[in-house]
Structure 1
Amino acid sequence: MAKFLRLDKAVSQVTDLSRAEVKRAAKAERITVNGAVITDPAMKIADSDDLCLDGELLQEAGPRYFMVHKPLGYVSATKDSEHPTVLDLIDEPNKQKLHIAGRLDIDTTGLVLLTDDGQWSHMVTSPRHHCDKTYYAHLAERIDESAVEKFAKGIWLNNEKKRTKPAQLEILYANEVRITIGEGRYHQVKRMFAALDNRVLELHRERIGDIALDEDLEPGDYRPLTAEEIASVH
């Protein structure tokens, strides 16, 4: 059964145009429905109609998936009154419909995933789906080899009632490590090292599940995920 919408609403849903801008476009004879120019923004059209703006067919975008190389100073939010957001880095129609699958702190850099597929996003963030996250960390102090076993057993965090799940710690250098965790407690990586009387100076997410941050993406850049990357989350 066909669904009917006002012309201005139908156009605004698949473009970045506001209702007022759609009204002006209609009056300027820039909008056609099934090949006929429509100047009445209140006209009801069916979802099966061919809707065009400036001769270009408008279609509801299917599920979208992007990776972003988040720089310092950006917050993992759709709106923020004080800081730029990850969405500010995206130049896509209706980007406000995208949401963040796996947030990062303002002072953490690296891989962020954006999508408008709620089920896929849930599989990325839910611990039950075992979508591990891998980080590079630069620490204030030298890390002892004994920390590898401690992370593998789980760390007692301040004000927590149970240990963290087992985590994999790889010591790259005296105070540089790679850590993989399977959960996402509040400031978890920083708090795990704080529990060992150390402090994270720099934190960078390299990977979520099987999706690795593209080495060709500079901080602030983004790209669509490949079909293989999308399918790796299941």
Structure 2
Amino acid sequence: MVSKRGRLDQFIAGTLQISKKAVRGLLITDKVLVDGQLAKSPDLQIDEFSHITCNCVVLRQYQKQYYMLNKPDGVVSATIDDKHPTALGLMTGVNTDMLHIAGRLDLHSTGLLLLTNDAKWSAALMAPEHKVDKQYLVTLANPLQQEYVEAFANGMYFEFEDITTLPAQLALLSSHQARVVLREGKYHQIKRMFGRFRNPVVALHRESVGNILLDNTLLPGEFRALTKAEVDSVIQH
């Protein structure tokens, strides 16, 4: 989703189906408020969250929304899907018209999924150049070996894309379970990295993104709004 910025006069003209000259008349006569302030300039830049009224009639009043969802197995990170239930379909009681997913999970992956209508916020969280940590609990089909740790730390070359992954942290928790921290998100990256050792991933569960940790009180399929501290933990450049 891209942040929708534009000129105030274009928005009002399009919304009310009037000319830009008529819009200037409304501005001159103090009929337009933007975020509670009188608007005088026709080229004032607004976005999808600007609160705009004209003659006391609200023309736009979208509020920023931020949620975490404990994504269950078998749910797709999508708005619409013909075969499977969707993450947005689980957001009961929420206006999902403008929501998008910040950092998708595969069909059978579970755990922390973030949803928002704030494109700037999600871009700051997920843009590759920002290198935000993403932590996963991984269960493997075969016993883990110590040699995996160094291979993850060194990065792996993916011939198909002609790229080398950034160093990743791998902590061995038990014979078949590990914790992985990535600073990127290549296609099926964790599965492909363990695939180098012919060790299939049985389960993949995202525990955190940056400083936002999955609320362990949320059952699979449940969600809640992010706290102000969680929202503010994402540094927007």
Interval containing the TM-score (normalised by the shorter chain): 0.7 to 0.9
How do 1:210-229 residues align onto structure 2 when only pairs under 5 Å count? 210-229=211-230
**Residue in structure 2 matched with residue 177 of structure 1 by the alignment:** 178
Partner of residue 49 from structure 1, selected from 50, 56, 59:
56
CA distance in 1, matches of 2:181, 2:200: 17
Instruction: Provide the aligned C-alpha RMSD in A.
Output: 2.1
Cα gap change, 1:232/1:153 in structure 2, threshold over 3 Å: closer, same or farther?
Answer: same
CA distance in 2, matches of 1:124, 1:207: 12
User: Could you report, residue by residue, the CA deviation over 1:172-231 in whole angstroms, capped at 9, with x for unpaired residues?
Assistant: 001100000011111111111001221100000000001000000000000000111111
**8 A Cα contact 1:154 1:164, kept in partner:** yes
CA distance in 1, matches of 2:55, 2:204: 48
**Residue in structure 1 matched with residue 207 of structure 2 by the alignment:** 206
Q: CA deviation at 1:139?
A: 0.1
Q: CA deviation at 1:150?
A: 0.9
Q: CA deviation at 1:155?
A: 1.6
- What TM-score comes out, normalization by structure 2 length? 0.75
CA distance in 1, matches of 2:192, 2:62: 40
Q: CA deviation at 1:160?
A: 3.4
**8 A Cα contact 2:53 2:60, kept in partner:** no
How do 1:116-195 residues align onto structure 2 when only pairs under 5 Å count? 116-195=117-196
Cα gap change, 1:137/1:62 in structure 2, threshold over 3 Å: closer, same or farther?
Answer: same
Structure 2 unaligned segments of length 5 or more: list them.
1-7, 17-51
Deviates more, 1:149-158 or 1:64-73: 149-158
CA distance in 2, matches of 1:46, 1:173: 59
**Residue in structure 2 matched with residue 112 of structure 1 by the alignment:** 113
SS of the residue 2:56 aligns to: coil
Cα gap change, 1:48/1:66 in structure 2, threshold over 3 Å: closer, same or farther?
Answer: farther
User: Could you report, residue by residue, the CA deviation over 1:124-153 in whole angstroms, capped at 9, with x for unpaired residues?
Assistant: 111211211100000011111111111000
CA distance in 2, matches of 1:87, 1:46: 30
Q: CA deviation at 1:111?
A: 0.3
CA distance in 2, matches of 1:91, 1:155: 41
SS of the residue 1:173 aligns to: coil
**8 A Cα contact 1:78 1:96, kept in partner:** no
Q: CA deviation at 1:112?
A: 0.4
CA distance in 2, matches of 1:194, 1:226: 37
**Residue in structure 1 matched with residue 231 of structure 2 by the alignment:** 230
- What TM-score comes out, normalization by structure 1 length? 0.76
CA distance in 1, matches of 2:141, 2:209: 25
**Residue in structure 2 matched with residue 94 of structure 1 by the alignment:** 95
Aligned length, in residue pairs: 190
Structure 1 unaligned segments of length 5 or more: list them.
7-44, 52-57
CA distance in 1, matches of 2:204, 2:169: 16
**Residue in structure 2 matched with residue 72 of structure 1 by the alignment:** 73
**Residue in structure 1 matched with residue 45 of structure 2 by the alignment:** none
Cα gap change, 1:194/1:103 in structure 2, threshold over 3 Å: closer, same or farther?
Answer: same
Q: CA deviation at 1:159?
A: 1.9
CA distance in 1, matches of 2:175, 2:183: 24
2:106 maps to a residue whose letter is: D
List structure 1 segments (4+ residues) > 3 angstroms apart after TM superposition: 1-6, 45-48
